Amino acid sequence: MDKRTVRDVEVEGKRVLVRVDFNVPLDAKTGRITSDSRIRAALSTIEYLVKHKAKVILCSHLGRPGGKVVEGLRMRPVAQRLSKLIGLPVLIVPDCIGAEVENVVDRLNEGDILVLENLRFHAEEEANDSSFAQSLAKLADIHVNDAFGVAHRAHASTVGVSRYLPSVAGLLLEKELKALGGILSNPGHPFAALLGGAKVSDKINLIQNIMDKVDLLLIGGGMAATFLKVQGYEVGFSLVESDKQTLAKQLVQTAQQDGVSLHLPLDVMVAESMNTQAVGEIVSIGGIPPDKYIVDIGPRTIESFCRELVRCRTVFWNGPMGVYEISQFAKGTKAMVEVMATLKATTIVGGGSTAEIVEDMNMTDKMTHVSTGGGASLAFLEGKSLPGVEALLDK
C-alpha cells in the first residue's frame, strides 16, 4: 500500500481524530445492537493508539438520520459496547462539533477514548462542507481514516478533514486495501469470482475489471436470470434488466475469448412468490415455468459450483445465490459459505449482505478476509479510486 498508516506518524500525546465505521445494525423494536462486528473490526487501531498514548477521538455515522437529530440513532449504545469490548472507559459527548465538545477534548488525557455524536445529525457531513470539516479538524492534531465502509464517499469526515490535518490510514483500512489489492495484483491461480445478488448492473463494472484476472466466473442469484435470458432460456417473472442484455451477451463472448470458464446455473429453485409461505420447486434451466420466479440455485448447480471452487487457490465472493432472507430459498447461499470455509485457498468476501450472511453462519474466522465495506469493496475492485483513500498522505 502506497499510503501512510497510523504506524508512520508520531501519536504520543497527540489528539487523534479517527473516522471509524460504527454504522452497526440495530433491532427496530428495541434499538439494541444486533451485531458488533464493525466495532470489533476497529479495535486494532484503537488499541494501537491507546497503547501509544494518544488521545483518541472517534467519529462515525449511524443509520440515515437525514441531517437531523434522531434519538434512536445516538452513539451512546455504540460507545457502551465499545467500552465493554475494549475493557476501558469510553466517554461520549452530545454533539460532534462545537464549544462543548472542544472543552471535553481539551481535558482528555493520554490513552483516553472519546466517541463523538452521530456525524450525520449534521447535513454538512455528507455534503463535505468545508466549515463542518474545519470544525472537526479543530478537535485534533492528526486524522486517521479507518472507515473502509465509507472510503468511497467524499464526506467531511473522510475527505474534508484531510485538507486541514495530516491524514493517514488506520490498521483496518490498511488490511482491507492489502486484501482486496492482492486479488487484483497477484492472485493465486486458479482464481474464481463467485457473483450473485439481484442485478447485473450492480456487478458489470466489477466483471469487466476482473475478467482478465480470473480463471473462472460463477454466476448465481437474481443476476443469473439476465445471462440465462440472453442464452435463450425462459426465466419466468425473474428480474431481467432489458437494457443490460446486450452487455451480458458481450460479457459471455469476452469470457470465451479470454479463456475464462463461465458457469451459470444448471438448475434452479422456482416459486410462485417470494414470501415466507412460498413453496419452492427444483427445475432444470430448460424447464423454468413462465409464471414463476427464480429464487435459488438448485442442487446440481451447488454441486457444480462446489466442484469448481475446490480446485481454486483464490476465491472472491459477492452476492447471495438466492433470496437468502427467506429460509427455504437460502440453501444455495449457505452451501457456498460452507464450501468456502473448507477451501485451502485465499477466500475474500466482498462485504455488504454477503459479509452479514457469513457472520450469521459464524464462519467469519474461516475466511481469509471478510470486507467491512460492500459498496467500497465493489468500487475498489471495479478499478475506481476511493476518495477517502486518495485523501491520505502518500508514503
Catalytic residue IDs: 38, 199, 352, 375
Amino acid identity of residue 332, one-letter, is G
Number of H helices, E strands in the chain: 14, 15
Angle between helices 331-340 and 299-310 (to 10 degrees): 20
Distance CA(101)–CA(117), nearest Å, equals: 10
Distance CA(187)–CA(181), nearest Å, equals: 9
Contacting residues for 170 by C-beta, under 8 A, at least 6 apart: 5, 6, 18, 20, 42, 45, 144, 145, 146
Contacting residues for 14 by C-beta, under 8 A, at least 6 apart: 54, 55, 140, 141, 142
User: Which phi and psi (to 5°) does residue 57 adopt?
Assistant: -120, 110
C-alpha cell at 260: 475464462
Residue 335's closest CA among 269, 260, 251?
269
37: part of which helix (H) or strand (E)?
helix 37-51
C-alpha cell at 316: 472472491
C-alpha cell at 300: 446440481
Distance CA(215)–CA(194), nearest Å, equals: 11
Contacting residues for 246 by C-beta, under 8 A, at least 6 apart: none
Task: Put the strands of the sheet holding 91-92 in their side by side order.
Answer: 91-92, 113-115, 55-59, 15-19, 142-145, 167-169
